[in-house]
Structure 1
Amino acid sequence: MAGNRAAAVSHVGKIRSNNQDSGYAGHELFVVADGMGGHAGGDVASAIAVNRIREADGEYQTAAEAEFALQSALIAANSLLAETVFEHPELTGMGTTVSALMRVGDEMAIAHIGDSRIYLFRDGELSQVSVDHTFVQRLVDSGRITEEEAMVHPRRSVLMRVLGDVDASPEIDTLILATRPGDRWLICSDGLSGVVKHDDLLAALATRDAPKQVADKLLKQSLDAGAPDNVTVVILDIADVARGDIVKEPITVGSAAAPLQFGEPKPTTRAARLPTLRLHPMRPATGPTHFEPQSDDYLDELIEEDERRARRRRLTWMIGLAALVVAIVLAVLFGYQWTQSRFFVGASPAGKVAIYQGVQQNLGPIVLSHVYEESTVSVKSLPQYDKQLVQQTINADDLAAARAIVDQLTDAAKH
């Protein structure tokens, strides 16, 4: 027989003024929601969603039943968010991601929308189970950018799907996966996955620490990295009952753990509200935030903008490369001109005392000196000491100095 050991933690981060995340670790249900919509709505959205979805926490006969219950709970939460905006127009534009697990025996029902993530650690390997519903993920899937480029892409916060007042029938990813004792599941908001690297997640999850210790460790890593967004972590271990620490009381963290706070309902009419259920930007918030498409053509506009950015990057790279080549050519030319302003005295190939223009060193196969003037004096006719100096070359300050050296050597050869 196997059971669950779980933990949930949530933190406002180091930049945001309020926590718009919510998390839940229950008997069989585990959820993370990342709200958006600015200071006025993100916390409300995630709290409403988690409070509604956790009503589905319970035992189910089959994973298929749990999957359907999860999907129904998310749809119900979406409707509740739309109703809340209808009654509180000041919350227009609020929304939330949701990533949820429901344990049924040796299977796990999963429901997901947005860019919060679900990971599975098994047999020393960490895999991302959920797929981000973001603009940059579409670019990655289409091969336009790499995973590394997606981490720093200027549109990485653009969400294509969320729960909220933007779509009456949102598309929710659901699936059923097998699970077994020893598995460790992680659900987190992008305040963790967008800051802490995959290898660091793997290292933390690979320890034998209890779920609460692992969750605290991951939270600390995000805070140490600056935590520009709210951070919520839910850890679920599929463990033998004998090991203890089975979840007895559900844990709720983040906005859902506090009473909802928003203004009194403002009078409005449904007829005026329903036509505006379209994707639109969220209100700005302190620090990084999420946005959603404003129109049906928004994705095409973003792709066009990304292609323009790619062309600018290529042009910048080509200009930079050309400038580098020009700089190298100029450096070589100026360097060569400098070497040709230098002179030294040495032995010519014919064994005569000669004046060389250039420097003694060569640059690979490139010879940086040549015979400028050759005298009639044989190196062999020089005294032994002078002969060694000529064979080792004698530096001169200029051409006149080189000629003076040759005159001295000529006199030495006569004597």
Structure 2
Amino acid sequence: MVFEGSSAAISHTGKVRSNNQDSGYAGANLFVVADGMGGHAGGDVASSIAIHRLENLDHAYPSTMDAQASLQAAATTAAGDMIRAVKDRPELAGLGTTLDAIIMVEDYAVIGHIGDSRIYLYRDEALTQITTDHTFVQRLVDSGRITPEEARYHPRRSVLMRVLSDMDADPELDMFVMPTQPGDRWLLCSDGLSGVVDEAHMLKTLRLGMAPGRTADGLLRFALDGGAPDNVTIVIVDVGGQHPVLSGSATIVGAAANPQGIVIPAARPARPSWLHPVRQAANEPTHFEPAAQYLEELIEEDHRRAVRRRLGWLAGLVVVIALMVAALFGGYAWTQTRYFVGSDDDTVVIYQGIQQNLGPISLSHVYEDTGVRLTDLPSFDRSVVSSRSAGFGSLEEAQKMVDRLRSSAETGKKP
């Protein structure tokens, strides 16, 4: 069962955003994370609406079917609340939120999920992702177009295909029921954690066996160390068997915890200058819910981007190869400006090039067979010519040496 004090909820703005659009809830039977979106204030409103609508579900249920029906009905009502909020405040148009909720019913967990926040289960020293992201990149992964590792850094990783919002009065949640076991630890989090901290580091923290609050603090620290570009919300609940109704107040964090209610900050106009151009605000929406037909357009765009990337790599490779060929050709051309004196089987020869070879490639060739016989040369001159150690910078210098060798050979012939 879930004992008093065996759950925790924390939420942090992160290191980049100026406000917290996430909300979290940890109660007696209900545990929720909502990651809001919709511009300067819309995300705050959306996640707060979701939490305040669902908190009424924090009570005992006669069956898991009753809990599922209540959870779906509450999500639908929350969507209606968002639609009405936009009618009253048109500046909030386009607001929405992810939603991950667990209702504990006896020894079962009733789970509702929409968006890219996640639910993990830590059991028997292993961490398992229970929910599947409703994102564009997840569909690319499911279709085999990209790998899960590529999805972590994909430029479209924050594009949501399903979300609780003012654009859908009948949201479709993934709903399922899982049995719990003594020792289970459930982790609900926004993508401010899962998008920065990989499962290996999550597992490292969970294996320390600390209390839920300290564990949540450790996970948050990893997110902050990773730059925390988004809001981070974490809810942890430990299970020890059949779940009773508990007394005590719930923990609400993030935007929904604002004691003054939902506050809509006034937008501040940007003042660009040539020294300080306008940059995209850190708290502008990074998610949106596209129309159904937009998926194929995104996939086609991703295909074009992949093709452009491959063409770019190919062009770069061609340039590198061309530079290498040019360098080799230039080096070879330089070697052909050099000359040295050597020998073939029995005569003195002038070679064009240099004495060294490049692996099996010879960097010299016979330029002129002088006709001077090696046997007519003094022993010292014969050894110099045979070793090909007489190199010169020009043909004229090589010919002067040949003239000297010819004179030595003729002198050696005289009686």
Q: Taking structure 2 as the reference length, what is the TM-score of the superposition? A: 0.83
Q: Name which of 372, 383, 389 aligns with 1:387.
A: 383
For the residue of structure 2 that corresponds to 1:45, the secondary structure is helix
CA distance in structure 2 between the aligned counterparts of 1:105 and 1:219, rounded to whole angstroms: 30
1:318 shift after superposition: 3.2
Q: Does 1:122 align with 2:123?
A: yes
Q: Taking structure 1 as the reference length, what is the TM-score of the superposition? A: 0.83
For the structure 1 residues 2 and 214, does the alpha-carbon distance in structure 2 shift closer, same or farther, using more than 3 Å as the test? closer
Task: Determine the structure 1 residue equivalent to 2:271.
Answer: none
For the residue of structure 2 that corresponds to 1:41, the secondary structure is helix
Q: Is the 8 A contact 2:19 2:283 kept in 1?
A: no
For the structure 1 residues 195 and 247, does the alpha-carbon distance in structure 2 shift closer, same or farther, using more than 3 Å as the test? farther
User: Which letter maps to 1:358?
Assistant: G
Q: Does 1:254 align with 2:250?
A: no
Q: Name which of 361, 365, 379 aligns with 2:360.
A: 365
1:132 shift after superposition: 1.0
For the structure 1 residues 3 and 344, does the alpha-carbon distance in structure 2 shift closer, same or farther, using more than 3 Å as the test? farther
Q: Is the 8 A contact 1:100 1:112 kept in 2?
A: yes
CA distance in structure 2 between the aligned counterparts of 1:412 and 1:126, rounded to whole angstroms: 89
After superposing the two structures, state which structure 1 stretch, 389-398 or 332-341, moved more. Answer: 389-398
After superposing the two structures, state which structure 1 stretch, 247-256 or 374-383, moved more. Answer: 374-383
Q: Is the 8 A contact 1:11 1:230 kept in 2?
A: yes
For the residue of structure 2 that corresponds to 1:85, the secondary structure is helix
For the residue of structure 2 that corresponds to 1:216, the secondary structure is helix
In the alignment, structure 1 segments of 5+ residues that lack a partner are: 264-283
Q: Name which of 304, 310, 317 aligns with 1:314.
A: 310
Task: Determine the structure 1 residue equivalent to 2:269.
Answer: none
Task: Determine the structure 2 residue equivalent to 1:147.
Answer: 148
For the residue of structure 2 that corresponds to 1:227, the secondary structure is coil
Q: Does 1:213 align with 2:214?
A: yes
Task: Determine the structure 1 residue equivalent to 2:33.
Answer: 32
Q: Is the 8 A contact 1:347 1:393 kept in 2?
A: no
CA distance in structure 2 between the aligned counterparts of 1:82 and 1:386, rounded to whole angstroms: 101
Task: Determine the structure 2 residue equivalent to 1:132.
Answer: 133
In the alignment, structure 2 segments of 5+ residues that lack a partner are: 265-279
For the structure 1 residues 410 and 65, does the alpha-carbon distance in structure 2 shift closer, same or farther, using more than 3 Å as the test? farther
Q: Is the 8 A contact 1:346 1:392 kept in 2?
A: yes
For the structure 1 residues 319 and 329, does the alpha-carbon distance in structure 2 shift closer, same or farther, using more than 3 Å as the test? same
CA distance in structure 2 between the aligned counterparts of 1:9 and 1:149, rounded to whole angstroms: 29
CA distance in structure 2 between the aligned counterparts of 1:230 and 1:198, rounded to whole angstroms: 18
Q: Is the 8 A contact 1:22 1:256 kept in 2?
A: yes
For the structure 1 residues 211 and 301, does the alpha-carbon distance in structure 2 shift closer, same or farther, using more than 3 Å as the test? same
CA distance in structure 1 between the aligned counterparts of 2:236 and 2:284, rounded to whole angstroms: 25
CA distance in structure 1 between the aligned counterparts of 2:162 and 2:375, rounded to whole angstroms: 88
- Equivalent residue pairs, number: 390
Task: Determine the structure 2 residue equivalent to 1:266.
Answer: none
After superposing the two structures, state which structure 1 stretch, 338-347 or 30-39, moved more. Answer: 338-347
Identity %: 52
Deviations 1:296-325 (A, max 9, x none): 533333233223323322333333333333
Task: Determine the structure 1 residue equivalent to 2:9.
Answer: 8
Task: Determine the structure 1 residue equivalent to 2:274.
Answer: none
For the structure 1 residues 238 and 373, does the alpha-carbon distance in structure 2 shift closer, same or farther, using more than 3 Å as the test? farther
CA distance in structure 2 between the aligned counterparts of 1:247 and 1:315, rounded to whole angstroms: 63
1:370 shift after superposition: 2.2
Deviations 1:35-61 (A, max 9, x none): 011122111110111122122123334
1:19 shift after superposition: 0.3
CA distance in structure 2 between the aligned counterparts of 1:247 and 1:394, rounded to whole angstroms: 100
